[in-house]
Amino acid sequence: MIDQYEVVVVGGGIVGATVACGLARAGISVGLLNKDDPPRIWSQVGCDLRVSALTQGSVNIMQALGAWPEIVRRGVSPYRDMRVYDGAGHGCLHFDSAETHFQELGFIVENRVIVAGLWDLFESFECGESICADPVVAIAPHDLGRQLTLRSGRCIKAELVIAADGQHSVMRSQMGIGVQGWPYHQQGLVTTVSTAKSHQRTAWQRFLEQGPLAFLPLHNGQSSIVWTLGTASAKAYTECSEGDFLAALMKASDGLLGEITAVGTRAAFPLNFQHANSYTAEAFALVGDAAHTMHPLAGQGANAGLLDAAAMIELLAQAKERRRPLGGQQVLRRYERWRKGDNLVMMTAMDLLKRMYGVHEQPFVQLRSLGMNVINNSRLLKKMFNQYAMGLRSGLPTLASNAASHGKRSEGW
């Protein structure tokens, strides 16, 4: 049995599902391959361990595709303030949505909520089909573009294959595309906590000796914890008793939100800097973590991947309209030029921040705190940082830069 699509997307997470929705919306036939059919209904007790801080640019993408209403229905938390502290010094930064044209800086959303909203949308398009639990075992050139062989023996042809299958991308390996990078010898410990004080729809972050500790507001009043630790510490805090963990977390947080009254399941994942040597090959492209992985200290990984998705959607929709090959080198070279440089700038910035806050000698700490305070007291500098962090800088894909709904998103919260 041989199936044929214009584009096949391998990987149905946040970035892959976004690409699939955007292409199907543009009238491009899409096959979306994923390891499973993601859940759409779950227990109302507890939250997903993995959350994303969606920028205004990313929300623009979700709104333009039509996925945002379903995501909001399942639960999102706008954050209107961001407070960053240097735990080793006296520096602080305060970003307030009142200093922008928006009623919020961004939204904290469970990953499962984003994925469910996107899959609901994708299944509403007639030219989209999902294929689950049937992984790719081989990819080969074909007259049309690429042919994929699945474990079941099913063969699929497409003009273009887009790999969105994560940091350890099997598709990238099968295509022989190498990566460069290094491990940080750190892990991100994630969990959900209840606190005595309200999170005040504020994202809180303290930079500590081993790495930043973030409290991110959730729609149910709890906070999602993302704590960067050395590998040994992360293992110890994941495995220790709840009481010992709460005591360590209270000390590290310096009581930002008062007593921590409850904690959920804990997990940790390794942190790396990784960048693909190439984003494209013949009739093949990488998006999201398959192309780049950065330090999560500013929560920009998912947003960078969504910009990849928006750029790919825009270029392929233009090619479809102009009747040009979707897997042609002209389209793929434009995609790589557009996204590789922008991603490298963001990745390098995150790496430099990680290294800067990894220095603990007092003269440097004092200088670092002074720099934070200078930025905090400069309206111009804060505006520049805000625009970049909110995904509203120039040169973005059309889906991300659509500003039609500025200031209108907070209705109902």
Residue 41 is assigned to a structural domain of this protein: yes
Sole residue written with tokens 């004080």: 197
Q: Are 37 and 84 in contact (CB under 8 A)?
A: no
- Closest to 241 in 3D by CA, of 223, 266, 261: 266
Structure tokens at 16: 């892959």
Task: Give every CB contact of residue 189 below 8 A, 6+ residues apart in sequence.
Answer: 225, 226, 227, 228, 229, 234, 237, 238, 266, 267, 268
Domain count of the fold of the chain: 1
Task: Give every CB contact of residue 285 below 8 A, 6+ residues apart in sequence.
Answer: 160, 161, 162, 163, 279, 312, 332, 335, 336
Q: What is the CATH number of the domain that holds 133?
A: 3.50.50.60
Sole residue written with tokens 């409850």: 262
- Closest to 79 in 3D by CA, of 214, 194, 192, 213: 214
Residue type, 197: K
Residue 29 is assigned to a structural domain of this protein: yes
DSSP helix, strand, coil percent of the chain (3-state; round to 5): 40, 30, 35
Structure tokens at 229: 């630790």
Name the region of 75 (left: φ>0; alpha: ψ -120 to 50; beta: rest).
Answer: left
Residue 221 is assigned to a structural domain of this protein: no
Residue 341 is assigned to a structural domain of this protein: yes
pLDDT at position 202, please? 97
Q: Are 261 and 196 in contact (CB under 8 A)?
A: yes
pLDDT at position 26, please? 97
* Domain of residue 130, residue span: 2-76+109-180+273-359
Residue 395 is assigned to a structural domain of this protein: no
Sole residue written with tokens 């960078």: 304
Task: Give every CB contact of residue 135 below 8 A, 6+ residues apart in sequence.
Answer: 33, 35, 150, 151, 170
Q: Determine the Cα–Cα distance for residues 332 and 320; give it in Å rounded to an integer.
A: 14
Residue 385 is assigned to a structural domain of this protein: no
Residue 394 is assigned to a structural domain of this protein: no
Q: Are 327 and 283 in contact (CB under 8 A)?
A: yes
Q: Determine the Cα–Cα distance for residues 57 and 105; give it in Å rounded to an integer.
A: 10
Helix ranges (DSSP H) in 123-241: 170-174, 231-239
Residue 187 is assigned to a structural domain of this protein: no
pLDDT at position 2, please? 61
Sole residue written with tokens 């689950």: 132
Structure tokens at 161: 């294959």
Tens digits of pLDDT across the chain (413 residues): 469 999 999 999 999 999 999 999 999 999 999 999 999 999 877 889 999 999 999 999 999 999 999 999 999 999 999 999 999 888 999 999 988 888 999 999 999 999 999 999 999 999 999 999 999 999 999 998 999 999 999 999 999 999 999 999 999 999 999 999 999 999 999 999 999 999 999 999 999 999 999 999 999 999 999 999 999 999 999 999 999 999 999 999 999 999 999 999 999 999 999 999 999 999 999 999 999 999 998 889 999 999 999 999 999 999 999 999 999 999 999 999 999 999 999 999 999 989 999 898 989 999 999 999 999 999 888 888 877 778 778 889 999 987 444 334 433 34
Residue type, 24: A
Task: Give every CB contact of residue 395 below 8 A, 6+ residues apart in sequence.
Answer: 342
pLDDT at position 298, please? 83
Q: Determine the Cα–Cα distance for residues 34 and 53; give it in Å rounded to an integer.
A: 24
pLDDT at position 330, please? 95
Q: Determine the Cα–Cα distance for residues 321 and 233; give it in Å rounded to an integer.
A: 53
